[in-house]
Chains A and B, each alone.
Chain A
Amino acid sequence: MLAAQLQPLAASVFSLIAIASLLLAFVMLGSRWLNDYLIAFAAESWLIAILSAAVGYYGHYPELYLIALLTALFRGLLLPYLMLRIVRRLHVDRELHERLSPSASLVVGALLVLFAFVVSSHLGESLGLAGTVAVLALTVMLSMKLIGFLMLVVRGEALSQILGLLVLENGIFLGSQILVPGMPLLIELVILFDLLVVVACFGVLVRYLVTHTGTSSTHDLRRLVG
């Protein structure tokens, strides 16, 4: 287990990056502007890339450098670019249809982080890892998961929903870098590519959505019930 035997410097670097990513998730939650979402998402991806490289360096996993590079390329550049194209095509620059105002969702998000902390400290205690960076990684992983679901629930704009899904995935990816840095390279690569395919599919679907239903808000999709 890497997290239990880290030098203090490495542990603090990891913690710093994890907490910064969580803060960026809150930036997304607290803003109405789609551009803010995109920038926050790109920054978060870059942080994860740095984290991969740092874990590779301190934990001696050379293959993580490759993952870091690909994360930066795919998640940091390509995905934001693809989504920027979607934003341009939609002519929508802000979230108009939220069910919960940004300030209220910040409060709910904070409660979710508390919940994630309770769960992960319980897990950490049962493993004898209390107080290590593993508990923090778990907390951030679960919080980003919950915040992603919160975004899916309260935001209606098509792009916000895609970003919500990506935040879910970012959380998993971030946590897995710290908890299971030795995960086979193939799996990580395939998950990265999978994400690219997901976003490409969403791109096509958004185009259909706008062309054939004349809306980019998923709150208007309410005909199928019962």
Chain B
Amino acid sequence: MIGILLAVILLAPLAAAVGCMLLPQARATEFLNLAAAIAVFLAVLRLLPLALSGPYTFWNGYLIVDPLGAWVLLSVASVYLLASIYAIGYMRAHKKAERLHRFYALFAGFALTTLSGPLMNNVGVYWIAIELTTLVSTFLVCFELDRDSIEAAWKYIVVVSGGISLALLGIIFYYWGGSFHLGPTYDLTWSTLRNVAPRLNPTIALTAFLLVLIGFGTKVGLAPMHTWLPDAHSEAPVPVSAMLSGALLNTAMIGIARFIQIADAARLGTLPRVVVVGLGVLSLFIAALFITRQSGVKRLMAYSSVEHMGVITLGFGFGGPLGIAGALYHMLNHSLNKSLMFFGAGNAMQAYHSKRISRIRRVLCAMPVAGLLWLAGAVAITGAPPFGLFLSELTIMRAGLMGSNAWATFLMLALLIVIFVGFLNHFRAMYFGENAVGLSPRASPFKFHLSIWCVLPMWMALVPLLLLGMWWPHALSRYFAVIATQLSNAGVP
């Protein structure tokens, strides 16, 4: 059963990618991609309960299905589904029909690489999956082929490839350290690495951990390695921004979560967790600075991603059942919410033909329903109740206060308040601010008609977000508890 589901998860986007290249009609490729997204989403939903009794391995041990991986797959699949729906409306408005089939082929290919990341059991192959996500998404980032998007794509591929090569170095160090105990040739899977970790030489284990943390941290967008993220997120087409932010970053985050576990198993003292927590706080700090004085609406969302990746990193860094549960819950909530925010930004960009916050005024007059949804999303993403992110951030803070890194909790709280004020101030200006002097008449109240494809995914993101905020299902708590046991039980046989 799990095997069939895995085949659906991996083959559906593959088939869509190939099909989109072959099909001549743009309309057909839209729905082919959407069909793949629906199939993947349903398969992941079915996989989720089955994975609970995992981990299972498939395909000579190259694929692994464990609760952590399945959870990340859920957030990836949700974003893929939402973004595929939104893409139909957004890309039609863009009128690039002759290149549309290439867009959907790349989009499905990007989904394929992102979905395969959490399923990889071999550490080296996981690295390659992450590298492939970069290569595919580069061409999505520069899809519009203007000066800015090519600049963003160039920075993206250079910074991320350079950073991720450090992770490869770290993996080689792990392999080298393991080869003293397991002989020269062995398969470096997550469980092998965890089992050999207590016997690794501590110097090697520490060096390797720092290297992989920096390497995958680049891909996650942790400050100070985040420099590619605002550019790529703001220049990519909106559905791609949502995928980058809600799906890709989580896929890289799972690597960091697993390596933290290995660092725990290697008994390296407090240093690894202090570094992880430090990177998390630094990300929040940088995000707070840039959010407050931001002028581009999509860059605002991008820095908010840096912030939330910092929060998730803090959750994993604090550790313990609460920290891990909070981080995982935050992952899903952030994926839904950030998709909603990017969709709203995309709608505003369509209506006002600008990415600049100062050009977007009186959103509620231009689009009453979509505008309200976007506003609700903005309240949610800053961590206000009654939405899901409030619960998950609260849980992470509780975990932080219980652990040894309580100082970080206070910094986190202070920075979250700064971000709350700074972020919502931009929305106050966009919704209720006066028109700036000398602004084009476009910014004065007018009614803009949005396609249903652009509004529907916003509802689909907001409703679960509200539900998750008011009601933390008991089944989820059990699920997180299983993951937390698997992640904290250092795997000593």
Q: Give chain A's interface residues, CB within 8 Å of chain B.
A: 1-2, 61, 119, 122-123, 126-127, 141, 145, 148-149, 152, 158, 161, 164-165, 168-169, 172, 175-176, 179-184, 187, 190-191, 194, 197-198, 201-202, 204-205, 208-209, 212-213, 218, 221-224, 226
A194-B131, A205-B138 known; A212+B150 contact, CB < 8 A:
yes
Sorted from nearest, which 8 A-B pairs have the closest CB atoms?
A: A182-B184, A182-B185, A221-B151, A187-B124, A126-B203, A224-B231, A168-B165, A179-B176
Q: Are A223 and B151 in contact (CB under 8 A)?
A: yes
Extra pairs beyond A187-B125, A218-B154 (4, CB < 8 Å): A165-B161, A168-B162, A179-B176, A197-B135
**Does B71 sit within 8 A of A, measured CB to CB?**
no
24 residue pairs from A and B, CB less than 8 Å apart: A2-B184, A126-B202, A127-B203, A145-B169, A165-B165, A169-B165, A172-B169, A179-B172, A180-B176, A180-B184, A182-B184, A182-B186, A183-B124, A184-B124, A184-B185, A190-B128, A197-B135, A202-B157, A212-B147, A212-B150, A221-B155, A224-B235, A226-B294, A226-B295
CA distance A83 to B234 in the complex (A): 30
**Does B168 sit within 8 A of A, measured CB to CB?**
yes
Q: Are A209 and B154 in contact (CB under 8 A)?
A: yes
Secondary structure dominating the interface of A: helix
CA distance A179 to B178 in the complex (A): 11
Q: Are B150 and A209 in contact (CB under 8 A)?
A: yes
Q: B142 touches which one: A181, A205, A218 (CB < 8 A)? A: A205
**Which residues of B are found within 8 Å of A181, using beta-carbon distances?**
184
B42 to chain A, nearest CB (A): 31
Q: Are A213 and B165 in contact (CB under 8 A)?
A: no
Q: B158 touches which one: A165, A172, A223 (CB < 8 A)? A: A165
**Which residues of B are found within 8 Å of A152, using beta-carbon distances?**
158, 162
**Does B411 sit within 8 A of A, measured CB to CB?**
no
Q: Are A224 and B185 in contact (CB under 8 A)?
A: no
CA distance A222 to B154 in the complex (A): 11
Q: Are A212 and B146 in contact (CB under 8 A)?
A: yes
Q: A224 touches which one: B148, B188, B202 (CB < 8 A)? A: B148
Q: Are A208 and B179 in contact (CB under 8 A)?
A: no
In the complex formed, the residue of B with least CB distance to A119 is B207
In the complex formed, the residue of B with least CB distance to A168 is B165
**Does B446 sit within 8 A of A, measured CB to CB?**
no
CA distance A190 to B168 in the complex (A): 13
Q: Are A208 and B150 in contact (CB under 8 A)?
A: yes
**Which residues of A are found within 8 Å of B176, using beta-carbon distances?**
179-180
**Which residues of B are found within 8 Å of A168, using beta-carbon distances?**
162, 165
| Residue of B122, B135, B172 with most chain A CB atoms under a 10 A cut-off | B172
In the complex formed, the residue of A with least CB distance to B142 is A208
B173 to chain A, nearest CB (A): 9
A175 to chain B, nearest CB (A): 7
Q: Interface 1/0s, chain B 121-162, versus A by CB < 8 A?
A: 010110010011001001100100111101111110110011
Q: Are A224 and B158 in contact (CB under 8 A)?
A: no
In the complex formed, the residue of B with least CB distance to A220 is B151
A122-B203, A179-B176, A187-B125 known; A201+B150 contact, CB < 8 A:
no
In the complex formed, the residue of A with least CB distance to B151 is A221
In the complex formed, the residue of B with least CB distance to A222 is B151
**Which residues of A are found within 8 Å of B187, using beta-carbon distances?**
184
Q: Interface 1/0s, chain B 442-485, versus A by CB < 8 A?
A: 00000000000000000000000000000000000000000000
**Does B26 sit within 8 A of A, measured CB to CB?**
no
Q: Are B234 and A224 in contact (CB under 8 A)?
A: yes
A161 to chain B, nearest CB (A): 6
In the complex formed, the residue of B with least CB distance to A204 is B139
A35 to chain B, nearest CB (A): 22
**Which residues of A are found within 8 Å of B155, using beta-carbon distances?**
221, 224
B255 to chain A, nearest CB (A): 16
Q: Are B165 and A172 in contact (CB under 8 A)?
A: yes
**Which residues of A are found within 8 Å of B203, using beta-carbon distances?**
122-123, 126-127
**Does B102 sit within 8 A of A, measured CB to CB?**
no
In the complex formed, the residue of A with least CB distance to B231 is A224
Q: Are A123 and B204 in contact (CB under 8 A)?
A: yes
**Which residues of A are found within 8 Å of B169, using beta-carbon distances?**
141, 145, 172
Beta-carbon contacts under 8 Å, B16-56 to A: none
CA distance A20 to B235 in the complex (A): 43
CA distance A202 to B180 in the complex (A): 38
Q: A180 touches which one: B131, B151, B175, B290 (CB < 8 A)? A: B175
